[in-house]
Amino acid sequence: MYPKTNSAGRKTTRTLMAIGLIAALFSCTTQKEEGEATSNERPNIIFIMSDDHAYQAISAYSDKLIQTPNIDRIANEGMLFEKAFVSNSICAPSRAVILTGKHSHMNGLVDNAVKFDSTQMTFPKILRENGYQTAMIGKWHLKTAPTGFDYWKVLPGQGHYYNPEFRTENGTVLDSGYVTDLITDFAIDWLEGAKKEDKPFMLMYQHKAPHREWLPTEENFREYTTKEFPEPASLFDDYSGRGTAAKEAEMRIATHMGVTSDNKIHPDIAEKMRYENFLTWYPNAYHNNLDRMSKTERAAWEAVYGPINEEFEQADLRGEELTKWKYQRYMQDYLASIASVDENVGRLLDYLEENGLAENTIIVYTSDQGFYLGEHGWFDKRFMYEESFRTPLMIKWPGVIKEGSRNTDLVQNLDFAETFLDAAGVEIPKEMQGKSMLPLLKGEQVEWRDALYYHYYEYPGIHAVKRHNGVRTDRYKLIHFYYDVDEWELYDLEKDPHEMNNVYEDPAYAEVKAQMHQKLDELVDQYQDKVVVPSK
Ligand code: SGN
Ligand code: CA
């Protein structure tokens, strides 16, 4: 027999059901902490990464060189990390660490020459399997095609600033425009589609700029070529008080930065002035870069760089004066390239706000590593010394991260994968080697790591930075240059923040030295780095 129902009975059942539903919803909202992800409202993730963007060139860190009001918005509305680092300060290896959450020796991509094994587990793959829409737009640099993305559009290799090619699943196309603007256009185009879907998204929006050889847009080179920048105290570092690695590296502004390729002096002028040594370094770069411009772009360029060429020829600079001139030219083009990144980050942030996407989106701004802006007389990266080991990092997540907060824990690019999976409520694979930053983002007091591990491999190779590994704690840093030399360096970062004075043999540091050796042994063990036996 079916129970008889009357209209009142039905009403009662409906009322009960409604009450039940409300109660269920209510318990859901009360159990859920503010901003915490539920299956329905998992956060979107936008990972913004530029290439070679030094923290010294972001005004949220330091306003000595440039104002970056848009990038600063992420810090002002979120959290700025004062002690964010990479684990291998070079492009492709850093990207592989970010994707896999594993150190270079575990993911296999130890240097820029190695191809990424794209069959391995990555966080975009895991997010995609768990219901995220995923895209990768901009600089990729991993040699094999991107995997784990619903959509990708990447620069082949390093890519070009002016009228670059882009590669998709369907082949390579030449686009007209400026690389930083184009990458942003493509990112916004993809978001236009993604926002209509009933699924969260994860977008990797990765700039080529400000990678060498720093070709800015007309608006920015007009402005920045009129500026003069403060020189770092160690522009004329003589590398005393350290081992041979710093001295032998080929990344000095004085002797390794090209007056043609980097400083944009016409090769004919350089030749006439007998700057031959600068011509041997990427002899074709000047033409390769500038010949890509349209007639109008080239005319605008010549209108500004033409007079710079003439003045340079007349001045006939040598020695320290030449180095000072090169430093200024370097900063003008490098920072002007960043100005475009900043404008475009602003464009993306505005788009998110205007489309109601800002509230439930985690926005990260970082770089694949730091960069030398004349410190130790250098450009480029690679070393475990602070300027390249450290990287900018700021994260915004409304409702979860306190606006304008600053964090001083030792975090690393190794931690991104686990952080994103954790934020999405997805299980973290055991094989990942980082730590989820989620508690730090929430401002919780948690036990965090007390030391970071580093390992750089690309030697022999461009810029001649010797292989090394090492450990950094809050105060000290121990580095072992282990290949074709056997040299140890120890720095007291509190007393010697610019790392000019190696105290490895200083008896006053005997105890610190022993502790740092022990830490290094522990980390080699913990991360299963069998490549070297660093302890003496
Ligand atoms: C190029 C650069 C180098 C740079 C490497 C690696 N020369 O070879 O200066 O160190 O890339 O950079 S360039 O004149 O061709 O730009 S990385 O960011 O891709 O690792
Ligand atoms: Ca890089």
Residue nearest ligand 1's atom 4 by CA: 380
Alpha carbon distance 259, 18 (integer Å): 75
Query: At CA 89, angle to CA 88 and CA 95, rounded to 5?
Result: 75
What is the rounded average pLDDT of the residues 79-107?
Answer: 98
- Which DSSP state fits 390? B
CATH superfamily of 1-445: Alkaline Phosphatase, subunit A (3.40.720.10)
Residue 24 has pLDDT above 50, yes or no: no
What is the rounded average pLDDT of the residues 437-458?
Answer: 97
Alpha carbon distance 404, 76 (integer Å): 4
What pLDDT score does 274 carry? 83
Q: 142: buried, middle or exposed (CB in 10 Å: 19+, 13-18, 0-12)?
A: buried
Q: 17-42 in b/e burial notation, b at 16+ Cβ within 10 A?
A: eeeeeeeeeeeeeeeeeebebeeeeb
Confidence of residue 279 (pLDDT cuts 50, 70, 90): low
CA of 521 relative to ligand 2 center, distance in Å: 28
Residue 336 has pLDDT above 70, yes or no: yes
The better pLDDT of the pair 2, 534 is held by: 534
Pairing of strands 405-407, 84-85: unpaired
Token digits of residue 138:
């901009």
What is the rounded average pLDDT of the residues 90-104?
Answer: 98
CA of 223 relative to ligand 1 center, distance in Å: 26
Token digits of residue 415:
């931690």
- Mean pLDDT of all residues in the chain? 92
Q: Which amino acid is at 120?
A: Q
What pLDDT score does 531 carry? 57
Say yes or no: CB of residue 211 within 6 Å of ligand 1: yes
Share of the chain above pLDDT 90, in %: 88
Alpha carbon distance 305, 290 (integer Å): 11
To which H or E segment does residue 243 belong? none
Say yes or no: CB of residue 52 within 6 Å of ligand 1: yes
Confidence of residue 276 (pLDDT cuts 50, 70, 90): low
What is the rounded average pLDDT of the residues 423-444?
Answer: 98
Confidence of residue 284 (pLDDT cuts 50, 70, 90): confident
CA of 462 relative to ligand 1 center, distance in Å: 8
Confidence of residue 281 (pLDDT cuts 50, 70, 90): low
Residue nearest ligand 1's atom 5 by CA: 462
Q: 74-87 in b/e burial notation, b at 16+ Cβ within 10 A?
A: bbebbbbbeebbbb
Say yes or no: CB of residue 282 within 6 Å of ligand 1: yes
Residue 187 has pLDDT above 80, yes or no: yes
Token digits of residue 476:
């000290």
- Best of 280, 369, 462 for a ligand 1 pocket test (most atoms within 8 Å of beta carbon): 462
- CA nearest to 523, candidates 472, 460, 484: 472
- CA nearest to 264, candidates 228, 213, 208: 213
CA of 212 relative to ligand 1 center, distance in Å: 6
Token digits of residue 192:
């236009």
To which H or E segment does residue 477 belong? strand 476-481
Pairing of strands 361-367, 393-396: antiparallel
Q: What is the pLDDT of residues 209-267, one digit of tens each?
A: 999 999 999 999 999 999 999 999 999 999 999 999 999 999 999 999 999 999 999 99
What pLDDT score does 275 carry? 77
Token digits of residue 50:
């530029």
Q: What is the pLDDT of residues 368-396, one digit of tens each?
A: 999 999 999 999 999 999 999 999 999 99
- Which DSSP state fits 378? B
Closest ligand (CA of 206): 2
- CA nearest to 358, candidates 399, 415, 408, 329: 399
Residue nearest ligand 1's atom 13 by CA: 212
What pLDDT score does 271 carry? 86
- Best of 114, 212, 250, 289 for a ligand 1 pocket test (most atoms within 8 Å of beta carbon): 212
Query: Looking at the DSSP assignment, which residues form a beta bridge with residue 52?
Result: none
Alpha carbon distance 54, 341 (integer Å): 13
Residue 338 has pLDDT above 60, yes or no: yes
Cα–Cα distance list, 63 to 252, 314, 370, 489 (Å): 24, 33, 17, 31
Q: 379: buried, middle or exposed (CB in 10 Å: 19+, 13-18, 0-12)?
A: buried
Q: In sequence order, which residues have a C-beta less than 8 Å from that of residue 333 and are 6 or more positions away? A: 213, 214, 215, 216, 221, 224, 262, 263, 264
Residue range(s) in the chain whose domain bears CATH number 3.30.1120.10 = 454-526
CA of 211 relative to ligand 2 center, distance in Å: 7
Residue range(s) in the chain whose domain bears CATH number 3.40.720.10 = 1-445
Say yes or no: CB of residue 91 within 6 Å of ligand 1: yes
Residue 5 has pLDDT above 60, yes or no: no
- CA nearest to 98, candidates 527, 411, 471, 424: 411
Cα–Cα distance list, 257 to 55, 325, 459 (Å): 21, 12, 19
pTM summary value: 0.92
Residue 116 has pLDDT above 70, yes or no: yes
Residue nearest ligand 1's atom 8 by CA: 462
State which CATH number among 3.40.140.10, 3.30.1120.10, 3.20.20.370, 3.40.718.10 fits the domain covering 454-526.
3.30.1120.10
- CA nearest to 132, candidates 231, 205, 221, 201: 201
Alpha carbon distance 70, 59 (integer Å): 10
Confidence of residue 140 (pLDDT cuts 50, 70, 90): very high
Write the Ramachandran bin of 186: left for phi over 0, alpha for psi from -120 to 50, otherwise beta.
alpha
Q: What is the pLDDT of residues 33-53, one digit of tens each?
A: 444 444 458 999 999 999 999
What pLDDT score does 342 carry? 99
Length of the chain: 536
Q: Which amino acid is at 21?
A: L
Token digits of residue 362:
């985690």
Residue nearest ligand 1's atom 10 by CA: 380
